[in-house]
Amino acid sequence: MGTENYNRHDHYHSDTEAAAVGVDRNAFSGPLTVNGPLNKRTGRKSAQFYIPDGAPGSSSSSMRSNGNDDYVEITLDVRDDSVAVHSVKTAGGADVEDPELTLLAKGLEKRSSFGSSVVRNASARIRQVSEELKRLTSFSKRPVGRLDRTKSAAAHALRGLKFISKNDGGAAWAALEKRFDELTADTGGLLPRSLFGECIGMNKDSKEFAGELFDALSRRRNITGDAINKAQLKEFWDQISDQSFDSRLQTFFDMVDKDADGRITEDEVREIISLSASANKLSNIQKQADEYAALIMEELDPDNRGYIMIEHLEMLLLQAPTQSVRGESRNLSQMLSQKLKTTHHGNPIRRWYEDLKYFLQDNWQRCWVIVPWIGIMAGLFTWKYIQYKNRAVYKVLGPCVCIAKGAAETLKLNMALILLPVCRNTITWLRNKTRLGVAVPFDDNLNFHKVIAMAITIGVGLHAISHLTCDFPRLIHATEEQYEPMEQFFGDQAHNYWHFVKEAEGYTGITMVVLMTIAFTLATPWLRRGKLNLPPFLKKLTGFNAFWYSHHLFVIVYVMLIVHGIKLYLTKEWYQKTTWMYLAVPITLYACERLIRAFRSSVKPVKILKVAVYPGNVLALHMSKPQGFKYKSGQYMFVNCAAVSPFEWHPFSITSAPGDDYLSVHIRTLGDWTRQLKTVFSEVCQPPRNGKSGLLRAENQEENPNFPKVLIDGPYGAPAQDYKKYDVVLLVGLGIGATPMISIVKDIVNNMKAKEEEENALEHGGTPKNKSAPTSANNFRTTRAYFYWVTREQGSFDWFKGVMNEVAEMDKNGVIEMHNYCTSVYEEGDARSALITMLQSINHAKNGVDVVSGTRVKSHFAKPNWRNVYKRIALNHSGSRIGVFYCGAPAPTKELKQLALDFSHKTSTKFDFHKENF
């Protein structure tokens, strides 16, 4: 029987090995006895593992009393194709009865198709077993909360102490060296402390944090100055890029331990909390640094010694991730990832067919609207082209007149159609009262409006260019003989362009082109949202107000269009002048819409019940609900405030739920009108009392007659209102884009309340109190909701704090899964947010409140991994149809929509993506 000894040391040359078996500060060794040579195909191997005095959590007195208990022996049977556990005993021969230990040993049995590979790896395998057995045998002797460096915990902790976002070895140092040379060109090769963060790649927001890191690294090396040379920078870099947990832990500890005495006091904890909060733009945590420092000391210093040691930080960091993935789910996730890989078909025909099939599946509603529309325009153009080709004017004007008249006919159609997508009352009625929504993409009404506008632009271009560059020059330069047939249409022959401009056809056409150019230009996203950096005098001509007023120039345009269509040169019979025929119904319908809006807003007065101004420049208005005002969650309404502008109406999502006895909107100040609205309401507000949220508050309009008067008009249909059609919904809101999603969440909560009341009433033989409640409706299908709210500012969570706390309290069955993401905080795993993560875990475990959001919903840091979000929902709801509703900035739209398409094509779970017009 041969024997081999394996010694564990504190330092490893391989980071992989350290992560695999863990690292412990107390070295130990144990003799390995093998029954039979290792090169035999079959043998029995046993190993004894010694736990010395002073091992973490060990009891020295008990070990001295029984020396045989110092060892644990495990015997393995090694065969051709397997390794089996034979027995687990103490050195004294007694069987180990620890069920966790036995389960671990049995779970480590491993099958192999090659006996030789088992023999070759037996020693390494046994050593890994020894680590786990040593941990488990001493587990019962350890103090509560002390965690070992298992593989998962160490890996999690390593991710939690990352000082740099990337580490590319030599390439990273080469880039760093280049930046050092650039930054020290004027300082004699010395890098000052103020430029250290920039040199190692940290952004400007982390300047203070980088300075503290510089101080910690300097203290470790007894560097007293505020500048370092390249050799010292290389030492700094080697430490902060070190992948070992011990190195990262020591670096972080040194940052906190300002006086380098090996102990962290409450003042030092308070300072690093304030520093971390500042780096992550968490003003609320910065204000409560004293409270949170006391909380950490209470947790890590229960004996009130007044300081904590590096071991306490280690214990906190080595807490394993709270969310683990089961083996089955992990396998499914891996299979799903394989399915989602892009497949490249070698056959171009097959690839084209697949692309076309998916395109039609995803866009068939749009296709059946767009294709007939294009077909009708092509038919009208062709009809007019052929008609004028057979007339006498063709001999003089040629194909130019045919093109001009064909384009004019499409313009008549499109000038009529462009009004229909903005007839909001009609569209809302069709969405709510008919089943046309199955085939008609009402969500794309504004997109269709824009597409028609592009078609009008093309039509105007063809019509105007054909006349100005072809028809008019031919008429001016025609001979008397050629012009004679034209005289009945145009009168005396023209000698210049003024002849045509002074006629009704000329000046009406020019006026329309000028006005439409102004309206179209100011409607572009860059000018409407004021994104262009223009001089101040031009900046005033952009923004939403400019867009809104310029769009009302359409009244003049339509008057000119009707006149232009009556005063035609080449058409004299009234029944052939068809412009008014195209426009009659759409203009009448739109005029009725505007009259209904004016009448409805005047007969439905609202009273302001509450006003609150929140961080992030958000104004919340709570209003009385007018009698008969019925709406669905996800819908929006128009708001008018005469104190700001008597003519402007602006749309805002309704944040209250249909079951609430009030109406509410949350308005972010993004433009001139919203900024002025916040100003006029702020003047009647006061700082909140009794711990209420908000920067300024006011309640009850009757007690405050100075409240500005507000009119509302609505409600109007929106994509999010269709959430009840789905059993499972994914709600995504960015910043203030969370408003329609909050209404949906509140509606689901109200439904849960009402269903619970109904069930209780039926159990006791009674009847529900409110049969007309929306929750009693049979069309409510939603059984699961995932809500992701992504915002840049910590103060944004105050907007809907009450709603989130209510959901956390009411949702006992886990119907709504809420995720808050604060993107100002560095991603989980960055050292700059490590202390925030620790503080978050302690406070949430102890008080049930998240330190970032101030709610019961635990916050995440940085941006969500949307692919993982979709993947998890696809795994949880295989074979289901998921409604995805997004409201917010345009940037993530493409990714969210593409992921919905990818998962729908490659998995059994189908995702229907709906985007709110924001």
Strand, helix or coil at 821?
Answer: strand
The per-residue pLDDT for 779 is 55
d(CA 293, CA 843): 11
Look at the alpha carbons of 840, 843, 844, 849 in this order and tell me if their dihedral is positive or negative. Answer: negative
**Is 96 strand, coil or helix?**
coil
Give yes or no for a contact between 676 and 639, defined as CB atoms under 8 angstroms apart.
Answer: no
Instruction: Report CA Rg, the chain.
Output: 37
CA distance 871 to 903: 8
Yes or no: say if 684 and 697 are a contact pair by the CB < 8 Å rule: no
Do residues 195 and 183 touch, judged by C-beta distance below 8 A? Answer: yes
Residues 126, 3: Cα–Cα separation, whole Å: 13
- Which residues make Cβ contacts (< 8 Å) with residue 320, sequence separation at least 6? 147, 150, 152, 153, 156
Sheet hosting strand 650-653, strand order edge to edge: 650-653, 636-641, 710-716
Query: How many beta carbons lie within 10 A of that of residue 221, not counting itself?
Result: 12
Residue type at position 364: W
Max CA separation in the chain (angstroms) = 130
The DSSP bridge partners found for residue 636 are: 653, 716
Which tokens hold the place of 119? 């023999």
Phi and psi (nearest 5°) for 808? Answer: -60, -35
The secondary structure of 437-491, three-state, reads: HHCCCHHHHHHHHHHHHHHHHHHHHHHHHHHHHHHHHHHHHCCHHHHHHHHHHHC
Phi, psi values for residue 771, rounded to 5°: -70, -20
Of 863, 817, 861, 811, the closest CA to residue 839 belongs to 861
CA distances (Å), 123 to each of 30, 78, 323, in order?
A: 13, 11, 33
- The pLDDT, as a whole number, for residue 383 is 93
Q: How far apart are CA 47 and CA 89, in angstroms?
A: 10
Q: Please state the three-class secondary structure of 660-707 as a single string.
A: CCEEEEEEECCCHHHHHHHHHHHCCCECCCCCCCCCEEEECHHHCCCC
Q: What is the pLDDT of residue 104?
A: 44
Distance (Å, whole) CA 820 – CA 790? 6
In this predicted structure, what is the pLDDT of residue 51?
A: 45
Among 21, 23, 20, CA closest to 10: 23
Q: Is 700 left (phi over 0), alpha (psi -120 to 50) or beta?
A: left
| One-letter amino acid for residue 36 of the chain | G
Q: What is the mean pLDDT of each run of 10 residues along the chain (918 residues)?
A: 39 35 36 37 47 41 42 57 55 51 44 42 50 43 39 41 50 82 86 86 76 85 86 85 72 77 81 77 78 80 79 64 42 52 65 77 84 94 90 84 92 94 88 82 88 94 89 82 77 79 87 93 83 77 82 92 86 81 93 85 76 85 87 89 85 88 88 85 74 64 71 86 88 89 86 76 63 48 86 83 81 82 75 72 78 81 88 88 89 89 87 81
Tell me the C-alpha distance between 747 and 770, whole Å.
15
Tokens coding 809: 């309290």
DSSP three-state, residue 875: helix
